[in-house]
Amino acid sequence: MNEQTKKAPATTHKLGIYLWIWGLLFVLSFCSYLVDWFAFQGLLRWTLILIFMFLKAGLIMAFFMHLFWERYTLVNVLLWPMTAIACFIGLMVAEAKYTVFTRFVYFVLGS
Amino acid sequence: MDNSALGKLPKGWKGVPNDLGSDQTAFKGVNWGKAMMWIFLLSDTFIFSCFLISYMKGRSSTVVDWPNPSEVFALHVGGVPVPLLLIAIMTFVLITSSGTMALAVKYGYERNRKMCGYLILATAFGGLTFVGMQAFEWTKLIHEGVRPWENPFGAKQFGSFFFMITGFHGTHVSIGVIFLFIFARKVFRGDFDTGKRGYFTSMKSDYVAIEILGLYWHFVDLVWVFIFAFFYLW
């Protein structure tokens, strides 16, 4: 960075954006707490939890961590590896089903 | 790379093959320290993912019922159990501290030394509050007989996943708090305005360090979003 850019204040984002995101995060956290408060069960509960979770994570990453304003190269390098995690989740779901199946057969039925 | 040179490069999706194929620095216009922090956070994401995935696998493969988190983590207020009360407060404290951190980064870049410093201090106290409440939570559960190998509520695996996941996250928060205090001191001392050379690196201090510190802190908050959803709410 040269001397000129050092002395001049760097361009920053408006205060309002941060306050809005902050407020939204509070609202979303409150919503996810309400999911437990009203004791929703089953598919509705899981769907709501995931929706609020991804919205919160997205807002934090996009605005608080400035990914929304970063160059696409950095964003791509950071987000594509998440597909590996998704694959891992898929593999472990299958594995868990197999484990619980064998446990039922040998521990519950077999005993 | 200064802004005028950056402006001449292709933007958006076209920028991706251009940047990666440029045979130079791949992350154009991104401070190297910031890029390294992101790479570290990516690796940390994988560590936390492994914990949460092993928790998913453990929980969905027990033949014994999993303890109901909204009962296990309930607090009694005037004799009435309120589900997940402490965890909800912890979540709000962490989000508040994330907000103050985001503002600290903004005021840092605007060279508003005092605001930046006070906001970093506020963030650090938020973090301390969080760790304190987590210590309370651990003490409570340990008194109730939760151990990594057994617990009175249900499946035995509950304790080991709880202590491992929240403990690892709490460690991250604690390390973050230490760094927040160190950087609050540096900001108040004016290191970032004078460009004083750092003790370890001997490199000139720059307010971009506050953004890098902020990335770490927001990441800690980000991980909590996932822990809150999968461990406490699910």
Q: Considering only CB atoms, which chain A residues are within 8 Å of B75?
A: none
- Count Cβ atoms within 10 A of the Cβ of residue B91 and give its class: 0-12 exposed, 13-18 middle, 19 or more buried: buried
Average pLDDT of every residue of chain A: 87
- Minimum-distance CB partner of B61 among A61, A82, A103: A103
Interface test with A, best of B57, B105, B208 (most A CBs within 10 A): B57
In B61-100, the DSSP E strands lie at 75-77, 80-82
Grouping H, G, I as helix, E, B as strand and the rest as coil, residue A70 is: coil
> What does the block give as tokens for B160?
């080991």
Reported pTM: 0.91
Identity of the residue numbered B189: R
Query: If you search the block for the tokens 């559960």, which residue do you land on?
Result: B141
- A18 vs B54, B99, B225: nearest CB: B99
Q: Per residue in B22-64, pLDDT tens?
A: 888 888 888 899 999 999 999 999 999 999 999 999 999 998 8
* Per-residue pLDDT tens digits for B64-110: 899 988 888 888 888 888 888 899 999 999 999 999 999 999 999 99
ipTM of the complex: 0.89
Residue B2 has a pLDDT of: 61
Judge contact between B176 and B216, C-beta under 8 A. yes
Verify whether the Cβ–Cβ distance B102 to A99 is below 8 Å. Answer: no
User: Which CATH code fits B31-233?
Assistant: 1.20.120.80
Where do the structural domains in chain B lie, given as residue ranges? 1-30, 31-233
Please report, for chain A, the start and end positions of each structural domain, with discontinuous segments joined by +.
3-70, 81-111
Ranges of residues in chain A whose predicted pLDDT is under 70? 1-11, 111
